[in-house]
Amino acid sequence: MTEHFRLAKLAVRSSELLSGGRLGAAHGWRMAYAHTYDWTTPGGVIEFIADNTWGLPNAVVGSLFATLNLWNGVKVEVSRASGSLLEAGRLGPKRGHADVARQGQSHWTCVGPSRGGRLEFRMERKGQLLAAAGTVIFFGLAPGVVAGLIRWWLTGWRITNPIPVWGPMRVLGAALTVGAAIVLISAFARFVMQASVHLHRSPRLGIW
């Protein structure tokens, strides 16, 4: 009996993972390609390049995040087509969730405008929090991919000497790399702190 229950649960989880994967793939595809680029201006071409170098890793992380949420039992409701992605998850405050709890769903994701007074308000804040989290991931990830992952993919860790005495340049290179890393990490830390301050101070988020 218990074994059957476990198998059924596993089947449900697998289908959730599959739908999460499909949703994530569609999301990534749309992020990267469904954007309309204006090819007649340099700005449009640059936008395309930026989306596919800096935006793509972000889309991949977003897709994984969506998959993970579905795996954890977060429900997706696509009842109305327009609106922003709102989420009321287990991280949210317990009060105001009465109408959701009545339906026996403790956490769900709603795509499109939702009704329900305070609940809607809380969900909007949750959406803003998620957006902030996404931007933080982007800020941390993009420099890492451009200056780290792609750099490594190009030449690996092979060390060569372009001219016989290269030692001093190696020291200079190490110093520049460390200095740049410090600047990037401090910029990232400052951004995270300012984002959280903004979330707490915004008048619309007053009761957080």
Binding site residues, other proteins, CB under 8 A: 41-43, 46-47, 49-50, 53, 143, 146-147, 150-151, 154-155, 157-162, 166, 169-170, 172-181, 183-184, 187
CB of 145 to other proteins, least distance (A): 10
CB of 42 to other proteins, least distance (A): 5
Nearer to other proteins, 93 or 148 (CB): 148
Nearer to other proteins, 76 or 131 (CB): 131
Question: Rounded to an integer, what distance in angstroms lies between the CA atom of residue 123 and that of residue 92?
Answer: 8
Q: Which DSSP symbol is given to 53?
A: I
Nearer to other proteins, 34 or 165 (CB): 165
Nearer to other proteins, 52 or 114 (CB): 52
Beta bridge partners of 109: 76, 87
CB of 167 to other proteins, least distance (A): 10
Q: What is the dihedral of CA 16, 17, 20, 24, to 10 degrees?
A: -170
CB of 55 to other proteins, least distance (A): 12
Q: Using alpha carbons only, what angle is made at residue 175 by residues 136 and 180, rounded to the nearest 5 degrees?
A: 20
Beta bridge partners of 88: 108
Nearer to other proteins, 8 or 150 (CB): 150
CB of 165 to other proteins, least distance (A): 11
Radius of gyration for the chain, computed over Cα atoms and rounded to the nearest angstrom: 22
For strands 75-77 and 108-111, give the pairing: parallel
Residue with token string 């420099």? 143
